[in-house]
A and B are shown apart, each in its own frame.
Chain A
Amino acid sequence: MIRLSLLCQCLLVALLLTCLGSLLHGSGIVWAMLHGNQTLPALQLQLLLQLRLPRLLVAICSGMLLSSAGAAIQARFRNPLAEPGLLGIYSGAALAAALALSLGAGILPVSLAGFAGSLLTLWLIRLLASPNGNGSRLILSGVAISALLGSLLTLLITTLPDGALRSITFWLMGSFANAEWPQAWLLLLASPLVWLGLFRHWRLLNALQLGEAAAFHLGFDIRRGAWLVVCLASIAAGVVVSSCGMIGFVGLLAPHLTRLLTGSDARRLLLAAPLLGAWLTVSADWLARSLLAPAELPVGVITSLLGAPFFLWLLRREQESPRA
């Protein structure tokens, strides 16, 4: 196990460097500086401030939100396969967003509709969940709702005209291309709130890893506490999915990777995972933008394309290594 402060510092440096690279890549600023041009062209500055910067902020915040929500939800359900969208939050948001798109709404109303959809799904799950805080019933209800909303979404998509179809596909794949300042502000506001809410409950998250009964025996009100954790993680998922679509695998992969470095302790995990998650999304966005430039890939394709094989390799490695 590496010392936590050292690990966090390394991750922070990696994140800052990647951010800088992603921000300046191809903008001509480095070139201009190297050649001693002190004044930046107004157009370049405009590009940085109006397009690159909000996009970068959205990428950072969504990485942080997804990975801390993933870490929390994995601890709550004692299930390494759990991720923030587990309870059908993504499908609910996608359905509402597609509905808004089919009605011809713009980017911001679609985002708002997506967020409302995720909250509605959460409320629906709350109605169906068992009153005594039983985790497996919650997961199963979530899976069923996810399937139901997913099929409704497919039904809706088949009726969409071509133009709307293209934008909904892009949205479903996840992309930071539409990120502007409104989304950036929303995420900047949401991520510290969600993170603080989760971090305050690190003891509960640790206790829940021992089981629901054990957490109760240790003195935690699991009915209230566990629901709060699920709520916060789902809100995080809802905020992210409604502002930049479905970004696969980050919420699953980042907590796993972090756990390899920090162990399962929720406090250490919640400190390091957001940094790693942000680094993953920023790097993925950079790749998505520059791999086939000037064309752009949906960032969700990159995260899943690189994330899935890496995750499989991780699973194999975990299985083979002797548990010592």
Chain B
Amino acid sequence: MLELEQVSLQRAGKRLLWQVSLQAVPGELCVILGPNGAGKSTLLQVMSGYLRPDSGRVRLGEQDTVGLSAARLASLRAVVEQQATVPSGWRVSELVAAGSYFAAPGQQTAAMAQALALTDTSKLAQRRLDSLSGGEAQRAHLARALCQLLASAQKERYLLLDEATAALDFAIADSQMAQWRQLAQDLHIGVVAVVHDLNLALRHADRVLLLQDGCSIAFGRTADIMQQARLEAIYGIRLAELISPDAGIRAFVPHTRR
């Protein structure tokens, strides 16, 4: 289990996170939701071990992340960054290979091939990254992170995604999130994603954490947490809930400003 326990973080006198707790388990997609500036990305950086919390504990599997080496952390979790930049001229295969730098030599090629296949990027392997569309580039970065996890010998592994759908159109974003959930189940990894779109979270997330001003408002099963009144309070807006009975789909759209 990836577990945050009463995590607080301050930077330059500003409270970024206050006593946030969360549990993500392998096989599930856990989504962090909240308005801009709520501390979602900061929370993800605490989970990844990049930021050290002022108080509280972060455990990956059985291990406290404080004191773990960068290489050890990398075998337990992989991260897709918010604005993943790539030096010009890199090919997809080179990017994905970067995920397996710490793997045993025999495992590198197998992990790479599997990561490319899982993300449907095998055909793009020799393409230059700066020639890809936004959706293709996103899949390449996902492949890099998966390669890192597949090359690891650890039993429990986590994939952390920071607003990885922000630059995608809604059809691609939707299929991406469906894929994360599928990957979580197939590979038995825990996936934690920061997402902006309420409706994508509603459709695909197993668990949701609602964050506001660095505080956890609610955490639990998606259907229990995503209540209209609660969301209206967090975003400061009136919402209309739309239901399509034959497709079985719920969605929230902005109604009027309160």
The residues of A with any CB-CB pair to B shorter than 8 Å are 78, 203, 206-207, 209-211, 213-214, 216-222, 259, 263-265, 323-324
Contacts of B101 in A (CB 8 A): 203, 206-207, 218-219
Taking the nearest CB of chain B, how far is it from the CB of A76, in angstroms? 12
Besides A219-B71, A259-B89, A323-B130, 16 more A-B contacts (Cβ < 8 Å) are: A78-B85, A203-B98, A206-B101, A209-B86, A209-B87, A209-B90, A210-B87, A211-B81, A211-B85, A217-B50, A217-B78, A217-B79, A217-B81, A218-B148, A221-B69, A221-B70
In the complex, the answer to whether B81 meets A219 with C-beta atoms within 8 Å is no
> Complex: how many Å from CA A50 to CA B78?
57
> Complex: how many Å from CA A222 to CA B79?
16
In the complex, the answer to whether A265 meets B94 with C-beta atoms within 8 Å is yes
Residue of A nearest to B83 (CB): A211
In the complex, the answer to whether B90 meets A263 with C-beta atoms within 8 Å is yes
Taking the nearest CB of chain A, how far is it from the CB of B82, in angstroms? 10
Contacts of A209 in B (CB 8 A): 86-87, 90
In the complex, the answer to whether B90 meets A264 with C-beta atoms within 8 Å is yes
B138 within 8 A of A: no
Q: Is the interface of A mostly helix, strand, loop or mixed?
A: loop
> Complex: how many Å from CA A210 to CA B148?
15
Contacts of A259 in B (CB 8 A): 89
Q: Mark B6-41, 1 if CB is under 8 A from A, else 0.
A: 000000000000000000000000000000000000
In the complex, the answer to whether A264 meets B75 with C-beta atoms within 8 Å is no
Determine which residue in B94, B101, B130 has the highest number of CB atoms from chain A within 10 A of its CB, and name it. B101
B102 within 8 A of A: yes
Contacts of A216 in B (CB 8 A): 50, 70
B84 within 8 A of A: yes
B131 within 8 A of A: yes
Residue of A nearest to B78 (CB): A217
> Complex: how many Å from CA A216 to CA B75?
12
